[in-house]
């Protein structure tokens, strides 16, 4: 077993993890650990842009109100204010690092997305914003000699002593050898959990690892019923659920049913520019009404050159599947996209476990409430990635790195059944815990997770595939429990047996690593 010692550990290398590593690098030796290649994350594939107040036509109070409205009453107002107030400073910092956002007439080119009251979305290379930010932060990290990068290393569990973080148990992804990392603090930035669903825009790495390992360490989890389904993912046979940015509708694209009729206005006054949970349900119900597996996104009224230049990646990707989006309707349907819930944190990324911090999609800062406002996620990643690192630095200033001794535990290997487990989890979640839910569907899902979790509880995975399956089983059960406990509809959580919006603004949490949902008003 290999043993390492570092002042700080960052798990995950998307926007939040990379930004944390940049901050931590100035104050100690930092291990940046990721289970795939450095930078492989949902951040890398984020298209739409970054919502940030940097225009003379905008102010932070407008951004604040738009975020609060989208969150459907469940946002933490202090967290939202922190995001919109500090956002511009962090984005300007990215520009000094070398990030190149699209310009028009010598100034930043702002566009609009659903539920934003003004044009405040900046973007890079049209629809490659996430890639540009990740590239910039990777280059900044590479200039830091105190950041030690560990690719293809899978985090198994957090090591604790007296409810304090002392280290991390991990596996070498190539050899399967166990590794112990001694540390003063861990920042979780492992992203979301889209791989739980049959249709998702997320990359293969999004298996809910941060939520699962922090839950097992006793950290509180919050709002786990709220998973956002992006309305428009490509729906073609033999093609992945490729994300078609909300900016496409912001620029004038419209949704049509299989008969070619516009329909979004029937579900919300803002029509195609309604909050994305509303649009996802509108598509879901329209598909049911017309007995179709998809609806159409129509960009044909826009000039060909504009579409090609504004959405070059989307245009070229669709073209590889024989679809010219400048002249043809695009078949789309919802897909799992973003987790609003996650590891509960304060405004500085602190979890309920001392020495454990969380940022980005794996954290629940309270910014998103019941429904994320479009393009707030990349901003949240850089702002709270930086803030969580700052908190870790202050909290551990006078501490030394502890030492851990390896402990023996029963191992389990499910790798030969990985595809079977993955397919079953994705089918169960897509059919029972997705865009529309109810008591019967959720209890069916819970029955599946209870049956499959029982034999593996307290077993240590012997390889990454087994670890991912275990983590997905944990998160699937937690999400189902939270969803069945919220007997009402709110934001992205919609139950057709309780279609009315819940009147109370309560949150559902899980404390102390136990499967007991707690309602907190």
Round to whole Å and give the CA distance between 342 and 363: 5
Per-residue confidence of the chain (521 residues) as pLDDT tens digits? 899 999 999 999 999 999 999 999 999 999 999 999 998 898 888 777 999 999 999 999 999 999 999 999 999 999 999 999 999 999 999 999 999 999 999 999 998 887 899 999 999 998 889 999 999 999 999 999 999 999 999 999 999 999 999 999 999 998 999 999 999 999 999 999 999 999 999 999 999 999 999 999 999 999 999 999 999 999 999 899 999 988 899 899 999 999 999 999 999 999 998 888 899 999 999 999 999 999 999 999 999 999 999 999 999 999 999 999 999 999 999 999 999 999 999 999 999 999 999 999 999 999 999 999 989 999 999 999 999 999 999 999 999 999 998 887 779 999 999 999 999 999 999 999 999 999 999 999 999 999 999 999 889 999 999 999 999 999 999 999 999 999 999 999 999 999 998 888 999 999 999 999 999 98
What's phi and psi for 251, nearest 5 deg? -90, 0
Q: Which tens digits make up the pLDDT trace of 346-396?
A: 999 999 999 999 999 999 999 999 999 989 999 999 999 999 999 999 999
CB atoms within 10 A of CB 438: 17
pLDDT number for residue 398: 94
Strand partners, 350: 357
Round to whole Å and give the CA distance between 489 and 504: 11
Strand partners, 297: 255, 330
Q: Quick check: helix, strand or coil at residue 72?
A: coil
Which positions ≥6 away from 169 have C-beta within 8 Å? 155, 156, 157, 158, 159, 178, 179, 180, 460
CB atoms within 10 A of CB 24: 29
Q: Work out whether the CA dihedral 262, 266, 267, 271 comes out positive or negative.
A: positive
> What CATH number does domain 408-520 carry, 2.30.30.100, 2.40.30.20, 1.10.10.10, 1.20.58.100?
1.20.58.100
Round to whole Å and give the CA distance between 476 and 459: 18
pLDDT number for residue 48: 73
Strand partners, 2: 179
SS3 sequence of 351-370: CCCECEEECHHHEECCCCCC
CA distances from 307 to 1, 132, 359 (A): 54, 20, 34
Reply yes or no on whether 276 is catalytic. yes
pLDDT number for residue 319: 96
Topology, domain 231-336: Flavocytochrome C3; Chain A, domain 1 (3.90.700)
pLDDT number for residue 276: 83
- Do domains 231-336 and 408-520 share one topology? The answer is no
pLDDT number for residue 118: 94
Query: Is there a contact between 362 and 189 (Cβ–Cβ < 8 Å)?
Result: yes
Q: Which tens digits make up the pLDDT trace of 38-67?
A: 988 988 887 779 999 999 999 999 999 999
Domain ranges, ordered by start, for the chain = 231-336, 408-520
pLDDT number for residue 338: 95
The active-site residue out of 19, 249, 276, 310 is: 276
Q: What is the DSSP string of 364-417?
A: E-SSSTTSPPTT-HHHHHHHHHHHHHHHHHHHTTT------------EE--GGG
pLDDT number for residue 472: 98
What is the pTM (predicted TM-score) of this model? 0.95
């Amino acid at each position: 077993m290999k043993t390492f010692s570092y002042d700080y550990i960052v798990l995950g290398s998307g926007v939040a993890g990379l930004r944390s590593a940049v901050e931590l690098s100035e104050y100690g030796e930092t291990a940046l650990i990721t289970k795939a290649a450095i930078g492989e994350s949902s951040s890398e594939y984020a298209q739409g842009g970054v919502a940030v107040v940097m225009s003379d036509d905008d102010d932070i109070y407008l951004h604040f109100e738009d975020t609060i409205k989208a969150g459907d009453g469940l946002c933490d107002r202090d967290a939202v204010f922190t995001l919109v107030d500090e956002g511009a400073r962090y984005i300007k910092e990215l520009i000094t690092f070398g990030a190149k956002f699209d310009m028009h007439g010598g100034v930043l080119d702002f566009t609009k997305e659903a539920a934003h009251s003004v044009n405040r979305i900046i973007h890079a290379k049209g629809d490659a914003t996430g890639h540009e930010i990740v590239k910039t932060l990777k280059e900044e990290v590479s200039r830091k000699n105190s950041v030690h990068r560990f690719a293809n290393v899978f985090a198994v569990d957090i090591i604790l002593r007296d409810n304090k973080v002392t280290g991390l148990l991990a596996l070498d992804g190539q050899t399967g050898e166990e590794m112990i990392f001694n540390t003063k603090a861990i920042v979780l930035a492992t992203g979301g959990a889209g791989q739980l669903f049959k249709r998702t825009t997320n990359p293969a790495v999004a298996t809910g690892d941060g939520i699962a390992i922090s839950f097992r360490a006793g950290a509180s989890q919050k709002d786990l019923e709220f998973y956002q389904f992006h309305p428009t993912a490509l729906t073609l046979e033999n093609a992945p659920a490729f994300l078609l940015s909300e900016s496409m509708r912001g620029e004038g694209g419209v949704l049509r049913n299989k008969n070619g009729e516009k329909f979004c206005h029937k579900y919300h006054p803002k029509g195609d520019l309604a909050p994305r949970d509303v649009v996802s349900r509108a598509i879901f119900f329209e598909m049911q009404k017309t007995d179709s597996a998809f609806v159409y996104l129509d960009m044909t009224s826009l000039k060909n050159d504009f579409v090609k230049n504004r959405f070059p990646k989307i245009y070229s990707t669709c073209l590889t599947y024989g679809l010219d989006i400048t002249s043809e309707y695009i078949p789309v349907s919802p897909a799992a996209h973003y987790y609003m819930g996650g590891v509960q944190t304060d405004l500085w990324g602190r979890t309920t476990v001392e020495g454990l911090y969380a940022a980005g999609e794996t954290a629940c800062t309270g910014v998103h409430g019941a429904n994320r406002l479009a393009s707030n996620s990349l901003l949240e990643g850089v702002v709270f990635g930086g803030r969580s690192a700052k908190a870790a630095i202050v909290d551990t200033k006078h501490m030394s790195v502890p030492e851990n001794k390896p402990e023996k535990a029963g191992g389990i290997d499910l790798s030969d059944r990985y595809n079977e487990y993955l397919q079953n989890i994705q089918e169960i979640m897509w059919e029972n815990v997705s865009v529309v839910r109810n008591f019967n569907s959720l209890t069916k899902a819970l029955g599946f997770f209870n049956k499959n979790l029982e034999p593996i509880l307290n077993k240590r995975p012997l390889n990454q595939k087994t670890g991912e399956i275990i983590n997905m089983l944990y998160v699937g059960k937690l999400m189902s429990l939270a969803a069945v406990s919220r007997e009402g509809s709110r934001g992205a959580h919609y139950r057709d047996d309780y279609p009315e919006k819940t009147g109370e603004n309560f949150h559902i949490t899980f404390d102390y690593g136990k499967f007991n949902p707690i309602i907190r008003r």
